[in-house]
A and B are shown apart, each in its own frame.
Chain A
Amino acid sequence: MKFAFLSFESPADIARRTGKDSKAYVDGWMAYGAALQQAGVLVSGAGLEPITTATTLRSRDGKRQVQDGPYADTKDQFGGFYIVDVPSLDVALEWASKSPCLPGGAIEVRPLIPFPPK
């Protein structure tokens, strides 16, 4: 079963991405991704630049709106995702529990809609 791990990083962790203390935090993400990969469960994934770089498009009554910033302005930022392939939700949660965003932020685990059978 494939699951998406949606990482929500706390403001403190977002700040730790850069600056002189960033190494341990960034290395933690590298190690986490490597552990997923070496265990053979990682399908794909990416980290996202901070929400200040986001641009959001909407269309209302045929009128297009372009807006600076994220779709949802939350305290914890949606900061990246992984797609993993594991036998069950239990295993997915076990992996999710090791995410570096956890002590301050959160990780949302969602099953992917399976491809329709051919």
Chain B
Amino acid sequence: MNDPADPRRAAAAAARTSYERLLAFLAARSHDLAATEDALADAFREALERWPATGIPAAPEAWLLTVARRRLVDAARREGTRDAAADDLRAAYDEAAALAATTEAFPDDRLKLLFVCAHPAIAPEMHTPLMLQVVLGLDAARIGSAFLVAPATMGQRLVRAKTKLRDAGIAFDVPEKDDLAPRLAAVLAAVYAAYGAGRDGLGSDEGAADLCAEAVSLARLLAAFLPDEPEVWGLLAMLLHCEAREPARRTADGAYVRLSHQDTRAWDPALRAEADAALREGSRFGRFGRFLFEAAIQSAHARRAETHTTDWAAVALLYGALVRVAPTVGAAVAHAAAVLEAHGPPAALALLDALAPRDVAAYQPYWAVRAGVLARLGRRDEARAAYERAIGLSADPAVRAFLHGEMAAP
């Protein structure tokens, strides 16, 4: 459904890219994201409607600016007052118009937008929603649904975040060398969260699939901008591996299939190849962070397509390394699951028992993995209680049905 050869889709993508470039350029100069979005909103909407029919204009940014000018002039007339922010925006606008009229390729500042959305001055839980709205143009209702927040509340939080960026005078810049790594980690985490929001519990919902595709396109964008950052390649490789397996995650009648039981013939070979190329690209620096380890784990799983067996010892080793660089509950539980297969249930149970009860009380994967470990140890009553807990914590009915089946297995 994301066929780039489809001219209508290509036109919509071009409209979006041009809009993003203009927004990045104007906001970096006016420092007012909300006002810049307002100024461009109508032009972007019109481009999305008209370009698929008329074709992409020769100078897309200039086209958008011409339409946006009407809106800008109208707004100035309506409000009748002049404030400094509006002046900044108009000055930026004139600069952009001059550039769009003279240069071949309009400057691409989109990376600045990604960094400003994941700025430390903004609460971490707002990084991804802000990115989805500012960089991808999604509305608050859709973002709210993806993050389980009421649309009006999400709208208010987005407005507050943008106001803070403006009032705190935060620079729209790509951080310098020393600051880049920590700031980039926040950007990557936000893109990953966007992918997770698309994947989690939303089953076959079409909007969810779109959100995953948007996250992958953000990761591709980052790799194009920052090809010397290994973690960028790691994130891209990991997301592409997940995308490659999407067709195998469910049976034809919607039942959930766990990774080690998926039909590898249903995996997308082109996406797999792109994923492994990205992993190689990131690995050549010899610096391994969270996302490169995650990508290496996914790549190890993917090799089952050729070897017909999962190398659990390798997967367990890689998860062990991941837990050391990024000690999250998710990584620890996945580590235990791999250790169960590689080294047996007692070793896996020891890892699970080491986790803090309050960290796992409402964490579904912990209870699902724990149930499997206890079942293998023959501790049936405890296994049953853990399965029930996992079922009660699952949002996805297909996962609930899968766990019911596991629980009933002899």
Contact = CB atoms under 8 A, between A and B. Distances in A.
Interface stretch (A36-44, A54-62, A67-75): A36-44
A89 interface: yes
A39 B393 CA distance: 10
Interface string B164-206: 0000000000000000000000000000000000000101000
B391 A27 contact: yes
Indicate the size class of the contact surface on chain A. 20 to 34
Contact of B392 (A33, A40, A93): A33
A24 interface: yes
Contacts of B150: 89, 93
Interface string A19-37: 0000010011011111110
Listed residue (B201, B203, B361, B392) with the most chain A CB atoms within 10 angstroms of its CB: B392
Interface residues of B, number: 19
Interface string B375-406: 00000000000001101111101001100100
B148 A39 contact: no
B156 interface: no
A47 interface: no
A89 B153 contact: yes
A35 B362 contact: yes
Contact of A38 (B149, B153, B361, B400): B361
A35 B392 contact: yes
Contacts of A51: none
A91 to B, nearest CB: 9
Contacts of A38: 361, 389
B388 to A, nearest CB: 5
Interface in B297-345: none
A22 B150 CA distance: 32
A35 B95 CA distance: 58
Contacts of A100: 397, 400
Nearest to A35: B392
Given A39-B362, A93-B149, A102 B395 contact: yes
Nearest to A24: B404
Nearest to B201: A97
Given A27-B404, A100-B400, A103-B397, A94 B392 contact: no
Contact of B394 (A36, A40, A98): A98
B94 to A, nearest CB: 43
B85 to A, nearest CB: 31
A90 B148 contact: yes
Nearest to A37: B392
A28 B393 CA distance: 10
A79 to B, nearest CB: 16
Contacts of B404: 24, 27
Contacts of B400: 24, 28, 31, 100
Interface of A: 24, 27-28, 30-36, 38-40, 89-90, 93-95, 97-98, 100, 102-103
25 contacts: A27-B388, A27-B391, A27-B404, A28-B391, A28-B400, A31-B389, A31-B400, A32-B391, A34-B389, A34-B392, A35-B392, A35-B393, A39-B362, A89-B153, A90-B148, A90-B149, A93-B148, A95-B362, A97-B148, A97-B395, A98-B392, A98-B393, A98-B394, A100-B400, A102-B397
